[in-house]
Structure 1
Amino acid sequence: MESTFADIQLARTLLKGVVLKTPTLYSLSLSRLFNTKIFLKLENFQETGSFKERGAYIKLKSLSYQEMRQGVIAVSKGNHAQAVALHAQNLRIPTIIVMPLNTPPMKVGHTERWGARVILAGKTFEEANAVAEEIAKKENLTSIHPYDDPHIIAGQGTIALEMLEDQPDLDVLLVPIGGGGLCAGIALAAKFLKPSLQIYGVEIKGYASMSQALYNTKEKKGEEITLADGIAVKHPGLLPKMILKDRLEGIEIVTEEAIEHAVDVLARQGNIIVEGAGAAGVAALFHNSSLFKKKTVGIIITGGNIDGRILSSIMMRGQLREGSLTLLRLDVNDVPGVLEKIARAIAKHQGNILEVKHQRLLYEIPIKMAEIDIMIETQDKEQVNTIMRDLKSEGFSVRQLRHPNLNFL
Structure 2
Amino acid sequence: MTVVEKPALTRAAVVEAAARIAPHVRRTPTERSPALSQLAGREVYLKLENLQRTGAFKIRGALNALTRLDAATRAAGVVTASAGNHGQGVAFAAQLVGAPATVVLPQGVPLAKLTAIQRSGAETVLADGGYDEAHAVAIELARERGRTYVHAFDDDDVIAGQGTVALEFLEDADELDTLVVPVGGGGLIAGIALAASERRPRLRIIGVQSESASAFAESFRAGRVVERAAATIADGISVRRPAERTLAIVKKYVDDVITVSDQAIARAIVVLLERTKMLAEGAGAAGIAAVLEANGRVGGQRVGVVVSGGNIDPNLLGKALQQGLASAGRYLAFRTWLDDRPGMLHELTGILSEERINILHVGIHRVGPYAGIGRVGLDVIVDTRDRAHADAVLALIRGKGFPAEELLDTSPSS
Give the TM-score taking structure 1 as reference length: 0.87
- Residue 78 of structure 2 is matched in structure 1 by 72
**What SS does the corresponding residue of 1:154 show, helix, strand or coil?**
helix
Question: In structure 1, how many angstroms separate the alpha carbons of the residues matched to 2:157 and 2:225?
Answer: 31
Residue identity in the other structure for 2:89: A
Residue identity in the other structure for 1:70: A
Q: Is the 8 A contact 1:281 1:300 kept in 2?
A: yes
Q: Is the 8 A contact 1:9 1:158 kept in 2?
A: yes
Structure 1 residues 386 and 11: CA distance shift in structure 2, 3 A: closer
Question: In structure 1, how many angstroms separate the alpha carbons of the residues matched to 2:298 and 2:336?
Answer: 45
- Residue 186 of structure 2 is matched in structure 1 by 180
Q: 2:234 aligns with which of 228, 234, 242?
A: 228
Q: Is the 8 A contact 2:329 2:386 kept in 1?
A: yes
Do structure 1's residue 91 and structure 2's residue 97 form an aligned pair? yes
Structure 1 residues 133 and 261: CA distance shift in structure 2, 3 A: same
Query: How do residues 271-350 of structure 1 correspond to structure 2 at under 5 angstroms?
Result: 271-286=277-292, 288-293=294-299, 295-350=301-356
Bigger drift between 308-317 and 180-189 goes to: 308-317
- Residue 402 of structure 2 is matched in structure 1 by 397
Structure 1 residues 153 and 380: CA distance shift in structure 2, 3 A: closer
Question: In structure 2, how many angstroms separate the alpha carbons of the residues matched to 1:243 and 1:95?
Answer: 29
Structure 1 residues 154 and 400: CA distance shift in structure 2, 3 A: same
Bigger drift between 243-252 and 38-47 goes to: 243-252
Offset, 1:336? 4.7
Q: 1:112 aligns with which of 118, 122, 130?
A: 118
**What SS does the corresponding residue of 1:269 show, helix, strand or coil?**
helix
Question: In structure 2, how many angstroms separate the alpha carbons of the residues matched to 1:286 and 1:105?
Answer: 30
Offset, 1:384? 5.1
Deviations 1:16-35, CA, capped at 9 Å, x for gaps:
34221111111223222222
Do structure 1's residue 237 and structure 2's residue 243 form an aligned pair? yes
RMSD: 3.0
Q: Is the 8 A contact 2:61 2:162 kept in 1?
A: yes
**What SS does the corresponding residue of 1:246 show, helix, strand or coil?**
helix
Residue identity in the other structure for 2:232: T
Q: Is the 8 A contact 1:206 1:220 kept in 2?
A: no
**What SS does the corresponding residue of 2:362 show, helix, strand or coil?**
strand
Q: Is the 8 A contact 2:229 2:240 kept in 1?
A: no
Do structure 1's residue 81 and structure 2's residue 87 form an aligned pair? yes
Do structure 1's residue 134 and structure 2's residue 140 form an aligned pair? yes
Residue identity in the other structure for 2:26: L
Give the TM-score taking structure 2 as reference length: 0.86
Question: In structure 1, how many angstroms separate the alpha carbons of the residues matched to 2:127 and 2:344?
Answer: 57
- Residue 379 of structure 1 is matched in structure 2 by 385
Residue identity in the other structure for 1:44: N
Query: In the comparison of the two structures, how many residue pairs are matched?
Result: 404
Q: Is the 8 A contact 1:211 1:217 kept in 2?
A: no
- Residue 29 of structure 1 is matched in structure 2 by 35
Deviations 1:61-114, CA, capped at 9 Å, x for gaps:
111111121111111131111111122123321111122344344433232121
Offset, 1:151? 1.5
Structure 1 residues 356 and 121: CA distance shift in structure 2, 3 A: closer
Offset, 1:211? 4.7
Percent identity, aligned pairs only, is: 35
Do structure 1's residue 20 and structure 2's residue 13 form an aligned pair? no
**What SS does the corresponding residue of 2:197 show, helix, strand or coil?**
helix
Question: In structure 1, how many angstroms separate the alpha carbons of the residues matched to 2:325 and 2:83?
Answer: 30
Q: Is the 8 A contact 2:58 2:89 kept in 1?
A: yes
